[in-house]
Structure 1
């Protein structure tokens, strides 16, 4: 009787241990699957942001335990409103927007913590084919530019002035078209030149509606054009999250640099369903060849000074904002 009880007791004990073990494993498994949600707002949908889409598609964010919800907010003002109002955690937008917020004496300033793009991303498109382009050809023409105070327009003016052209005096400058409608306005209008991102510029060229004649990115040199930013309070509370976020992007950036353009294009194709793979590939290669994708994601002091010089030249900034006030480079360094 005793042996039978012991045998029964041992069986129950083993069953209990097994149940506990399975429960523990299940608990560990559920922890592995529990991803931290992070809301990200991008200022526009652009091939210029290829590393971000690669990080999403190849699962680099999930490897870091993050569940990214990406929203396109179409415009710097809308993107910053979403960030300041708590509608998003992280914004991908021009670094100049953080300076505009700072100038308004925000109680919770917006901090740039990682740089995605290191050059301007726009191209000068001509309505007529020009075999031997020179910048002075813009004088006396109608130029469809970008929104006043936005990074594309400020860099565009910076480049034109470098070539001895005052866009407000030497051209008929049009700036009243909403960012998302610039390409359509040009296609249906009569302007001589327009400033466009890829793949829109290449698409227009393929359709015979315009011809790429110059790159503002090549002309402007290194500029902290588009950065990831968050409110200071968010970064203080979620610094580890920000580090994981950047680490995933660094993986993606390295993969983009080491992988052929066609493979990269196929990877990000879901984000550009109306653009053919070959067009995406050529756009990605164009950006990669001119160093548009930031190699280390660190917004440097020299880059910060450059962007403020461009803003001053455009009449959008009167006082310099110290680097340490609006830039936190430690997050990228920790991610590395």
Structure 2
């Protein structure tokens, strides 16, 4: 299924003890549910907010559900089975463009969290070195491959200029290690799994594109404003904590991903903190939204930029920032 069809399908959906935070907690007197697209290292701010007690401090009892896809996560909000969802804001923008009463209320990932890794000995002085090469990337629709296509276009190339192997997300390392491809477009923690096997990171999209609204919290416009305000404030607490407590943040990540090599988890967390993938605040700037939505417009998934002041709900963001 291509990206346009997958995003368009949203129309049918309308109908760590080791790293606990010593903070005084309010009684968890309000229960809410968040539906996340996947259990993902990218979504670590949410896990820190839950496991570190930041939501509890705001009087929230948060249940996390994993939907399996961005569209399913958003559908949970649309149907009322969850108050919040976590995925790329483009899904929310497409739904809103089609008439759904949803907006974005907080930032979670503020960098284009995609990297290019190559096998030892591979020449890579610029993106143009991928021409005529075998490249492994995630199956569309996914932002990693979309951004790779965007990068090719920006450098005077097209999809036909590379021999692309699309694989299920998270399995990009397989063809790379098996030498079926010598170049891979990857997310974390796959990237640092590849690095641990001798691969080299040659290009980071977070640095290349700067601020990029990559993943965010969505809610209906009719969401309980008190619950939303508490949620965003708790998330802001987690984001601030992550910036000044990297070791404790990594400990929470190891708890959430117990089957991964702790060395890989620690390296992935460090990389995403250092490169600004994990934001310092829940706010989303106009530029971050524009860059992200321009990608979707170029792919034909979105007709026009959403109106920033209406789409990004500062009603909940501003009080959270004031309380930092």
**Normalised by the size of structure 2, how large is the TM-score?**
0.82
**8 A Cα contact 1:130 1:213, kept in partner:** no
Hey, what does 1:278 align to over in structure 2? Answer: 263
SS in 1 for 2:111: coil
1:161-199 CA distance string (max 9 Å, x none) = 333332x12112344x33354445655672332222112
Give the drift of 1:288: 1.3
1:247 aligns with 2:233: yes
Question: What is the aligned counterpart of 1:232 among 209, 221, 232?
Answer: 221
**8 A Cα contact 1:129 1:211, kept in partner:** no
The 5 A counterparts of 1:1-336 are 33-106=27-100, 109-130=101-122, 133-166=125-158, 168-175=159-166, 177-184=167-174, 187=177, 190-208=180-198, 210-234=199-223, 238-259=224-245, 261-336=246-321
Give the drift of 1:84: 2.1
SS in 1 for 2:216: strand
**8 A Cα contact 1:40 1:91, kept in partner:** yes
Closer, same or farther: CA 186–158 of 1 in aligned 2, 3 Å: same
Give the drift of 1:245: 0.9
**8 A Cα contact 1:38 1:89, kept in partner:** yes
Closer, same or farther: CA 112–310 of 1 in aligned 2, 3 Å: same
Hey, what does 2:19 align to over in structure 1? Answer: none
Give the drift of 1:159: 2.8
Aligned positions, number: 296
**Normalised by the size of structure 1, how large is the TM-score?**
0.80
- Measure, in 2, the Cα distance between the counterparts of 1:76 and 1:173: 24
Give the drift of 1:67: 0.9
SS in 2 for 1:145: strand
Structure with bigger gyration radius: 1
- Measure, in 2, the Cα distance between the counterparts of 1:119 and 1:320: 19
